[in-house]
Amino acid sequence: MNTSYRIIPCYTGDVSGVCSALFELGGMVVIHDPSGCNSTYNTHDETRWYDHDSLIFISGLAEIDAVFGNDQKLIDDTVDAALNLHPKFITLVNSPIPYLNGTDFEAISRIIQQRTGIPTFYIPTNGMHDYVPGAGMALAEIAKRFVAEPEEKKADSVNLLGVTPLDFAADGSADALRDTVERAGFSVHTCWAMGDTLETLSHSGEASVNLAVSAIGLRTAQVLRERFGTPYVVGTPVGAFSETIFSAIRKAVETGENQFPLSERLHPTESGIFAIGEPVTMGSVLAALDLPGTVLCPLEDCEALLNPNTLSVVGEEEAESALKDANVVIADPLYRPIFPKGAKVIELPHEAFSGRCFRKTMKDLFNIDYDALRKEASL
């Protein structure tokens, strides 16, 4: 049971990750589940409901339909809704019950697409993984299906990949990220996926470089690299570390090679300073502080992002063990119960971990005073 959670919460699930990634793109997401996954997503993981709606529905899977494998109700309800609402695409998302039943979502997707004429695809979630693979697979599917072949590349243009409220929940974060990149002399071609439409994202092949600002964006970066040869950079342009990111972007454009500036900036250490969470954003925060430290990564689908100072942990016990000698911890406040006594805590609330508990104190990573934060961590 060393992978279970008894004190701290678990991260947002893969189902919510899909919904968050596709929220603004004009498609229809259908969660095949009795109700729980949808209510969890609505009440904990999505803040954009306050501004506008999205076509995210629950199938209302009944016990009798699950037992007898009645897929026709899901098909008919999805087709009826799609013909009334005219979404740009339809996405089916799996939850634990139909996953355990072995529901053939690939076949159901083909049937729905034939009956509606609307592109329909399935994202293989099951409610048993965290948000990174869910959102990553969803955006990668958009990149495979809807991004057109470019007529030409636009100089100094950047696609921002992996931008969702799960990692960038503070009000104005997406706009602040855009401003940061544009002030460095680049043009933001697209933002995956906050603030842009599916039509805008379809032109992503025209960008000269992709910037994966979170682990969610890596799969999309790899797809766009394979399809169009576009190099990508992994890192979040925060504080003084932003200059390293921008240098890496210029190098990627010049050489055509992918760049991983976090691997160059961070090194193994036993300083007792830890940053916990999504490895790209938290690694970039630690690099911006210019302090020796270790990034503790409790998330899945991040193997390609682990560098010498990143420690992957599975479950609460491994995380608590890794933190036993911690002096300073930068993390969401709900991690406090597993910190050693006397450790200094620098709170950075994370939507995908604590939901809306700390909305009033959520920090915009692009407008933090990192000099003041460094002094606080060094005391």
What is the per-residue pLDDT across 113-122, written as a single tens digit (0 to 9) for each?
999 999 999 9
Cα separation, 108 vs 18, in Å, equals 18
10 Å Cβ neighbour count for 182?
12
For residue 315, what is the enclosing H or E element? helix 315-322
Domain boundary among 263, 294, 326: 263
> CA torsion, points 353, 169, 190, 275, in degrees to nearest 10?
-50
Edge-first strand order for the sheet with 344-347 is 310-312, 294-297, 273-276, 328-331, 344-347
For residue 217, is it within any domain? yes
If asked whether residues 156 and 104 sit together in one domain, one would say no
Find the angle CA(229)-CA(163)-CA(261) to the nearest 5 degrees. Answer: 60
If asked whether residues 236 and 308 sit together in one domain, one would say no
For residue 6, is it within any domain? no
Cα separation, 138 vs 24, in Å, equals 13
If asked whether residues 28 and 111 sit together in one domain, one would say yes
Could you tell me the two tokens for 335?
A: 């991690």
What percentage of the chain reaches a pLDDT higher than 70?
94
* Segment 215-242, tens digit of pLDDT: 999 999 999 999 999 999 999 999 999 9
Model pLDDT, residue 366: 95
Model pLDDT, residue 43: 63
Residues 17-40 as b or e (16 or more Cβ within 10 Å = b): bbbbbbbbbebbbbbbbbeebbeb
Strand, coil or helix: 308:
coil
10 Å Cβ neighbour count for 326?
23
For residue 3, is it within any domain? no
Cα separation, 331 vs 329, in Å, equals 6
Q: Is residue 141 over pLDDT 70?
A: yes
Domain housing 109: 14-129
For residue 1, is it within any domain? no
Model pLDDT, residue 305: 85
Cα separation, 251 vs 111, in Å, equals 46
Q: Is residue 266 over pLDDT 70?
A: no
Which CATH number do you get for residue 162? Answer: 3.40.50.1980
If asked whether residues 289 and 358 sit together in one domain, one would say yes
Mean pLDDT, the chain, integer: 90
Model pLDDT, residue 360: 87
Residues 241-260 as b or e (16 or more Cβ within 10 Å = b): bbebbbebbbbbbeeeebbb
Strand bridging mode 294-297 / 344-347: unpaired
Helix 131-146 vs helix 14-22: angle between axes, to the nearest 10 degrees?
40
* Segment 315-363, tens digit of pLDDT: 899 999 999 989 999 999 999 999 999 899 999 999 999 988 888 889 9
* Segment 187-214, tens digit of pLDDT: 999 999 999 999 999 999 999 999 999 9
If asked whether residues 58 and 111 sit together in one domain, one would say yes
Domain boundary among 246, 263, 280: 263
* Segment 276-304, tens digit of pLDDT: 999 999 999 999 998 888 999 999 999 88
Q: Scanning the structure block, which residue is given the tokens 């979040």? A: 236
Could you tell me the two tokens for 229?
A: 């040869």
Residue among 8, 2, 1, 6 at smallest CA distance from 339: 8
Residue among 254, 181, 239, 168 at smallest CA distance from 211: 181
Domain boundary among 240, 263, 286: 263
Residues 192/138, Cβ–Cβ less than 8 Å: no
If asked whether residues 176 and 83 sit together in one domain, one would say no
In angstroms, the Cα distances linking 171 to 177, 212, 361, 365 are 12, 20, 11, 11
Give the count of domains, the chain. 3
If asked whether residues 247 and 276 sit together in one domain, one would say no
If asked whether residues 253 and 332 sit together in one domain, one would say no
